[in-house]
Amino acid sequence: MSETIKLSCICGAVEMEAEGAPIMSTECLCTSCRTAADLLEALPGAPRLREATGGTRTEMYRKDRVRCIRGSANLREHRLTGKTKTRRVVAACCNTPIFLDFTQGHWVDLYGPLWPEGSLPPLQMRTMTGDLDDASALPSDVPNLKTHSVGFFLRLIGAWAAMGFRRPKIDYVEGVLDIRD
């Protein structure tokens, strides 16, 4: 296993730790991620979340390899609808997006802007480009997948198998983010 990386919000009140290498490095262009990014970027003092392509960059980690080591009382969740099983978690102290949690899954997507300058792992693929009106302008530096590929799911299943098919819960998020449209 590779080293542990420490990531923090803009003001430093929240510190996360991710152990080992990510499952994969992706940029998601789905409608939900782009909509959520618009909302989160509009919060006072929030950093830019979207890439130049309009997608959100994430590093996918097994939940058992990510933990909050300081400032969990500042973490708040936001769900796009009352029925969604995904939640975006933000450090409310400075409105820094921290991660996307697939609550019924075994992985968490840590947002790319958390990585210190020059330390973000290389992008491996863009996903959900089929949600764009016109994906032809995307750069061809990595695969631009219309949906999720078989390889994408195989990596997730491989990580889940390595975890003994467990689905750890992230239970250190303290409340709901107040976003008014």
Residue 118 belongs to what domain range?
22-64+73-175
Q: What's the number of domains the chain is made of?
A: 1
Question: H helices then E strands: how many in the chain?
Answer: 2, 11
Q: Is residue 37 part of a domain?
A: yes
Q: How far apart are the first and last CA of the chain?
A: 43
Q: Is residue 10 part of a domain?
A: no
This prediction's pTM? 0.95
What confidence tens digit (pLDDT) does each residue in 96-154 have? 999 999 999 999 999 999 999 999 999 999 999 999 999 999 999 999 999 999 999 99
What confidence tens digit (pLDDT) does each residue in 9-33 have? 999 999 999 999 999 999 999 999 9
Q: Is residue 6 part of a domain?
A: no
Q: Is residue 121 part of a domain?
A: yes
What confidence tens digit (pLDDT) does each residue in 20-71 have? 999 999 999 999 999 999 999 999 999 999 999 999 999 999 999 999 999 9
60 SS3 class: strand
Q: Which amino acid belongs to residue 4?
A: T
